[in-house]
Amino acid sequence: MFYPGVNMKNLKISEIAKLSGVSVKALRIYEEKGLLAPVRQYESNYRLYAEEDISRIKNIKSLQGLGFSLKEISIIRRTKELQNEDLRSIFLNQLNGTISKIADLEDRKLTLQNIIQKIEEDKINPSSILTAKEKDVFMGITTGFTKLDKLLKEESKDQLIVIAARPGMGKTALTVHIANSLMDQTNKPIVFYSTEFDHREWTKRLAVQLCEIDRDIENLDEGDKERYEETYIKLQKKPIYYHYNKDIPLEGIKKHTSEIKKDLGAVVIDHLQDITGEDAEKCIKLKELSKQLNCPVLVISTVSKIADTRPLRKPIPKDVNNYSSMVGHVDKLLIVSREGNGSLAGGKGIVNIHVYNDDLKSSDHINLVWDGTYCGYSDSL
C-alpha cells in the first residue's frame, strides 16, 4: 500500500503506530514478546520498522480478536516449526473455548431475563439480590444436569413438571436425581407423596444415587457399604417429609404442606394417576399448588402401552396418561425413552429426554447417560 510522504522502509514507532492502528505501548509489548523485531538506528537509537511490519501487526491484532494471547500468537508465528496437526490443535482449542464462552453468555442472558421477569412479577425484594442464595434468586430450578438446566433455567421456580415414561425407563430415578439436586441447592425441605414407596425406600434410592453404588446394597463391599450407611443416616437428618398412603388426595397435599410452615424446595408426587379427584382438574390444582408454594412440583406419570407400537418405541405426549388435563397447565412435560437398546459399555446406556412446553407441541431434546448399576443419570460418560 502506498502512503504519500512516508518513507516505508524506515518507519518510526509513532508512524507505524498510526498506520497500523495500534498504540505505541502495544508495539513495545509486541517487541518484548518477540512478535516484532524493529531495527535500531545506530545514531539516534530509534526503532525503525519496514512496510511488511504493518501486515504483521494487523495479523497480530486479528489473532487477538479471535481470543489468542500474545504467548499463543508467538507460538503460531513459528509456523515453520509446527506440524499441521499442531497448528490445527491450537485453533481447535480456541474454537472449543469460544463455544464455551458463547454458552456462558447464553446462560448470562437467561439469568438476566429471569431476574427481569421476577422483578416485573414482584417476586424479588431488592435486598434479596445481595442477601439470598445465588441459586435461589438468579435461576429457575436446578436439576443437576447442565443440558436440562439450560431448558429450565429461564423458568420461574413455581413450575409443574411431569416426568413420564414406560415402565423400566428410569422416570423415578430421574425424579430422585432432580430432588437430590434441589435439596442440595436450596437447602429447603423436600416432600414425597407415594402409594408405592415408603420413607425407607425413598431414602435408600436417594442414598444409592448420591453414593453412585450398586442398588443391590446387600452385596456391597465394606467401603461402599460404609459410605451408603453414612449417607443414609445423613439423609434421615435432612428436612425430607414422606407421605405413604394407598391414595394421594389433593386436599391432603395442601394440608400437609401448609403444616410444614417452611419454604419448600420441591414436592414430589408418585404417581399422577394415584391422585384422587377428577382427572380434568388434577393438573389445574397442582399448578395452583406450585404457585402457592413457589416451588417446583414434580409429578411422575405413566405412558400408555400404545407407545410400544410406535416407530423406535418413542412415546408422544398423547401417550401420557391424563394427557388431556395437562395441556396449558403443566410448565414442562419430560418424556423419557430409549432408542433401540441404547447400550454402552459397563451397564450404561443413552436415554432420550424430550422436553415439551405447556402447549405439549413444541419441544427440545437432550440425551443423558443412564447407569443401571445405581439407577442414575449423568450428562456424559
* Residue 107: band (very low, low, confident or very high) from pLDDT cuts 50, 70, 90: low
Choose among 215, 147, 218, 222: nearest CA to 176: 215
Q: What is the mean pLDDT of residues 304-333?
A: 90
Residue 5 lies in a domain: no
One domain, residues 335 and 371: yes
Q: Which of 81, 98, 126 is the last residue of a domain?
A: 81
In this prediction, residues 233-260 reach a mean pLDDT of 90
* Residues 303 and 350 placed together within one structural domain of the fold: yes
Examine the fold and report which residue of 56, 81, 106 is the final residue of a domain before the chain moves on: 81
CATH of residue 16: 1.10.1660.10
What Å distances lie between residue 49 and 75, 132, 356, CA to CA? 22, 57, 62
- The verdict on residue 29 lying in a domain is yes
Buried b (16+ CB within 10 A) or exposed e, 263-285: ebbbbbbbbbebbeeeeeebbeb
Distance separating alpha carbons of residues 338 and 321, to the nearest angstrom? 19
Question: In this model, does residue 306 exceed pLDDT 90?
Answer: yes
253 and 292 part of one domain: yes
Range of weakest confidence among 65-69, 130-134, 297-301, 334-338: 130-134
Q: What is the mean pLDDT of residues 216-233?
A: 90
Q: What is the mean pLDDT of residues 174-178?
A: 91
pLDDT above 90 (res 318): yes
- For residue 6, being part of any structural domain is answered with no
Distance CA(323)–CA(307), nearest Å, equals 14
Would 275 be classed as within a structural domain? yes
Res 150: pLDDT: 76
Same domain, 309 and 298: yes
The radius of gyration computed from the CA coordinates of the chain, to the nearest angstrom, equals: 29
- 130 and 225 in a single domain? The answer is no
The residue range of the domain holding 132 is: 89-139
Residue 303 belongs to domain with CATH number:
3.40.50.300
pLDDT the model gives residue 135: 47
Q: What was the pLDDT predicted at 381?
A: 54
Residue 2 lies in a domain: no
Spatial distance between the Cα atoms of 61 and 200, rounded to a whole number of angstroms? 63
Residues 131, 253, single domain; the answer is no
Q: 130 and 148 share a domain?
A: no
67 and 109 both lie in a single domain: no
What is the per-residue pLDDT for 99?
81
**Would you put residue 373 in left (φ > 0), alpha (ψ -120 to 50) or beta?**
alpha
Residue 306 host element (H or E)? none
Q: Which of 139, 161, 181 is the last residue of a domain?
A: 139
Average pLDDT of the segment spanning 233-253: 90
Q: Against a cut of 0.75, is the pTM above it?
A: no
Output DSSP code: residue 41: P
Q: Read off the pLDDT band of 233 (50, 70, 90).
A: very high
Count of structural domains within the chain: 3
Q: What is the pLDDT of residues 121-165, one digit of tens each?
A: 666 666 555 554 444 444 567 788 888 887 776 556 789 999 999
